[in-house]
Amino acid sequence: MSGELPPPPPPSTPYGSDRTARTGAALAIGAYGLWGLFPIYFKWVAAVPAIEVLAHRIVWTLAVMAAVVSLRAGGWRRVGAALRQRRLAATLGLSSLLLALNWGVFVGAVAAGRVLECSLGYFINPLVSVLLGVAVLGERLRRPQWLAVALAASGVAFLVAATGVAPWVGLTLAFSFASYGLLRKVAAVDPFTGLFVEAAVLAPLALAYLVWLTAAGVAVFAEGDLAMDGLLIAAGPITALPLILFAAGARRIRLATLGLLQYIAPTGHFLLAVLAYGETFTVPHLIAFAGIWAALVIYSVDGLRQTRKIADR
C-alpha cells in the first residue's frame, strides 16, 4: 500500500477448483505481505533524498516493466493499443501523476518516521474509495457502508481534535490512491500495460532529474557506494514483483477474499511502526484506529453478506 496496490480485477475473473483458490490466496497473500514490508526497504534508502529515490523507482520500474511486457504474448501490441486510444492514454497520464504523488509521499513519510500515518492512510483507503464511487460514479451505499464511513471519519476527526494535527500523510495517501484506483477502474487496460505506460509517462522527467543530479555532482547513485546503488536499482523489481503476484493471484480467488486480504499491507505497516521503529502510539491513536478497525469489520462483513446473496441467486 504505498501506491503499490493495483485496482481490483474485473468481475469476470474466473474461479477454479479449491486447489486453484488456495494457490490464488497464497499468491495474493505474498503480494500484500510484500507491500506490508515496503517500509523496511525505504528505511534502508532513507539516507537518499526522497525525490531522488522516487526518480530511481520510476526509472527502474520502467526497465522491469519493459521486460515484463516483452515476455508477455502480445505485450507491446497491448501497449500500442493503449497509446492509440486518446481517452485511455489521457487517463493513464493523469493516473501516473497520482501514482507519483502517492509514491513520493510514502517514501518521504517512511524516511521521516511516519509509518504509522501511512498505515492509517491505507486502512481508510477502501472507505475513501467507496465515497469516491458515490461522488463520481453515482453509486449507492447500503446502511452498513454508511456506518463504516461514519465510524472511520469519526476516528480521524477524534485524532485531529485530540492531537491538534491532521494526519495529512495518511489522508494524502488514502485520497491519492483511491483516486488512482478510480481512474484505473474506468481505464480498460491490464495492470502490466497500465503500469508500463504510467512509468513511461513519468520516466523522462525522472531521468532528466537524475542526469542533472549527476552533472551537479550531488547524486547518490554511482558515487562509489555499491550497496546503495544496488538498493536503488532494486526499486524496480521490488515494485514489480508484488504486482505480478497480485495479478496472478487475483484471477484465482473471489473479490470478497481479495478485499479481506488487502488489510495485510497496512497491518504490516502498523506493526513495523509500533514494534520495529518505536513510533509514538498514544491513547488518541488507539481510539482513532479502533474506530477505523471497527469500520473495516462492518464494511467487510457487509461485503461478504452481499457476495453470499449474489452466489445464492
- Position with higher pLDDT, 173 vs 17: 173
pLDDT tens digit string along 101-156? 999 999 999 999 999 999 999 999 999 988 998 888 888 888 999 999 999 999 99
b/e map 204-214, b = 16+ CB within 10 Å: eebeebbeebe
CA distance linking residue 151 with residue 157, whole number of Å: 10
What's the confidence (pLDDT) of residue 198?
96
What's the confidence (pLDDT) of residue 311?
65
pTM: 0.89
CA distance linking residue 188 with residue 144, whole number of Å: 30
pLDDT tens digit string along 247-297? 888 888 877 777 788 999 999 999 999 999 999 999 999 999 999 999 999
What's the confidence (pLDDT) of residue 9?
46
What's the confidence (pLDDT) of residue 252?
83
DSSP string, 186-211: HS---HHHHHHHHHHHHHHHHHHHHH
Evaluate if residue 6 carries a pLDDT over 60: no
Using only C-alpha atoms, the chain has a radius of gyration, in whole angstroms, of 20
**pLDDT, the chain, mean:** 90
- Position with higher pLDDT, 18 vs 115: 115
pLDDT tens digit string along 70-89? 999 999 999 999 999 999 99
Measured CA angle at 144 (ends 140, 147), to 5 deg: 100
What's the confidence (pLDDT) of residue 312?
66
What's the confidence (pLDDT) of residue 223?
85
162 CB-near residues (< 8 Å, 6+ apart): 284, 287, 288
> Rounded mean pLDDT of 50-71?
96
Please name the residue that has the C-alpha cell 502480445.
Answer: 74
